[in-house]
Amino acid sequence: MDYRIIPLNTGTITLDQGAYCTLGRGLGTKVDTPSTAWCITDGAEHFLVDTGMCDTERANRWHHEGYQPKGGRIDEQLMSRAGLRPDQIRAVFFTHLHWDHCSNMKLFRNARYYVQTVELAFALNPTLPPYYRS
């Protein structure tokens, strides 16, 4: 069976390059990074890898500076890029549970969710201060 992998850009996050991307090089330099999710489909069954970032207001208040353009929420991306509705997604596989990867899970009510046990435990009880609010 052939599968298609469809990238979905759910917004942009502005990060400190040195703190998040290049291990200290470029500290203080801001870079825009896409917040992606992926739809995997064979035409009959449809899956997601991650569910993308939250809206702009929530991102800026609770997480990192970010921007989700009109039409950028994952359900809108699914419809425009893959012609799929959230209720057609059978499973969601989370790479990890940071806000920009799982903010929209509630939209996929018919899906089964998959995440590593260690990742779920950390999300429920974060042991590092930067993740307390997430």
**Whole-structure pTM over 0.85, yes or no?**
yes
Measured CA to CA, the distance from residue 106 to residue 79 in angstroms comes to 17
User: How confident is the prediction along the chain (134 residues), in pLDDT tens digits per residue?
Assistant: 799 999 999 999 999 999 889 999 999 999 999 999 999 999 999 999 999 998 889 888 888 889 999 999 999 999 999 999 999 999 999 999 988 999 999 999 999 999 999 999 998 888 887 777 66
115-133 residue pLDDT tens: 999 999 998 888 887 777 6
Measured CA to CA, the distance from residue 77 to residue 99 in angstroms comes to 18
Q: For tokens 């353009």, name the residue.
A: 69
